[in-house]
Amino acid sequence: MTSTALALRQALRRPWVARIGVVVLLFALWEVAALWWVDPMFLSPPSRVFASLQSVFETRGVPAALRITFWELAVAFVLSVAIGLAIGLAVGLQPFARKSFLPIILLLYGTPQVTILPLFILYFGIGPASKIAFGVSHGFFPIALAIVAGVQNIKPILLTSARAMGANRWQVLRHVIFPHTIPSFFAGMRLGMTGVLLGVLLAELYVSTAGIGYFTTLFTQNFDPTRLFGLIAVLAAMAIALNEIVRRAEIHFGRWHTD
């Protein structure tokens, strides 16, 4: 085997090469399907979509809609983390609370929340408050459940030893509970971030006069798949950026866990 073939074989075994290969394959299939198989009124090739990104940003109202949606996502995500962390610790640390309230949380989490979206619109109006509230309703559940699972995995001897050495409640949280729940917490944050994105966009699609969801509906009704997929590409980039922020935070605080 030549050195070039050996280097190529070793490169193909790397995970990032496999990821890039899958993405390139999907884009190639999309390009072929859009050019040869699907009516261009319903599907645009990726080459045309990426070429039209500038026109998407130049569309009147789109930059402001992006700012509104990003602000709604940021506020909803922060609230989801705070509420999910508080509920997760309150339920996970107390056996009585876990047995009493965890089934209720699981029941509410399994309920299709899109069916109660009109209630959010009724209570919070058609402004950003309803989108934020609906995003929080999707985001805090996975965070709370991940915290409960992480707390349950802590060895009881660690908590007993910390209390026996005179540690107060904050010291137990700081030096025992938080470090050992970091993997579960960030796994829940990633799921919660996806839930927040889904909730905010669903609310914007249902009723909104601004935000990305409004323009998504507008481009769909106008049979403009090029700008529609361009807007979806912007959404995907936004989700990737948020996921990267969470990943970097996980790496940073993961050192605390390993220490």
Confidence (pLDDT) at 14: 66
pLDDT digits (tens, 9 = 90+) for 97-145: 888 888 888 888 887 877 788 888 888 887 888 888 988 998 889 999 9
Cα–Cα distance for residue pair 56/212, rounded to 1 Å: 11
Residue 100, token pair as written in the block = 């009493």
The angle that helices 128-152 and 117-124 make with each other, rounded to 10 degrees, is 120
Taking alpha carbons only, the member of 165, 168, 177 closest to residue 88 is 177
pLDDT digits (tens, 9 = 90+) for 75-89: 999 999 999 988 888
Cα–Cα distance for residue pair 60/112, rounded to 1 Å: 35
Taking alpha carbons only, the member of 88, 42, 37, 76 closest to residue 229 is 42
Does the pTM surpass 0.75? The reply is yes
pLDDT digits (tens, 9 = 90+) for 42-94: 777 777 777 777 777 777 877 888 888 888 888 999 999 999 988 888 888 78
- What amino acid is encoded at 155 in this protein? K
